[in-house]
C-alpha cells in the first residue's frame, strides 16, 4: 500500500531547489492510522537517483507529514509506503 506524487519547481521560481513539508490530504485509497509507521523516498525522475529517504509516523489524526523535502526544477517522485 503506497501513496506517490510528482513535485517540481515551476519555471517562474528563481531558486534551483527549495525545502518544503508535505502533508497528503483527502486521501481516498491510502488511509494511515494514527501512530502507524511508514517509509518514504524522494527520487529524481531525471536520473532515478535517490535524493532523500526516511521513516515517518502518522500523527493523532492519521496525517503523515514529510518534513524537509527537497524539491528541484527536475521532477521528483515522492513515495510513502507501508513497511513490509
Q: ∠ CA 24-8-74 to the nearest 5 degrees? A: 140
DSSP label at 74? S
Closest C-alpha among 41, 37, 21, 29 to residue 82 = 37
Q: What is the pTM of this model?
A: 0.92
What was the pLDDT predicted at 66?
98
Residue with cell 517562474: 12
Residues 12-71: tens digit of each pLDDT: 999 999 999 999 999 999 999 999 999 999 999 999 999 999 999 999 999 999 999 999
Amino acid at each position: 500500500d503506497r501513496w506517490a506524487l510528482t513535485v517540481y519547481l515551476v519555471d517562474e521560481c528563481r531558486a534551483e531547489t527549495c525545502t518544503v513539508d508535505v502533508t497528503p490530504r483527502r486521501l481516498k485509497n491510502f488511509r494511515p492510522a494514527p501512530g502507524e509507521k511508514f517509509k518514504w523516498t524522494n527520487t529524481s525522475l531525471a536520473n532515478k537517483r535517490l535524493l532523500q529517504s526516511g521513516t515517518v509516523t502518522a500523527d493523532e489524526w492519521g496525517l503523515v507529514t514529510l518534513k524537509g523535502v527537497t524539491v528541484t526544477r527536475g521532477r521528483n517522485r515522492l513515495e510513502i509506503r507501508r513497511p513490509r
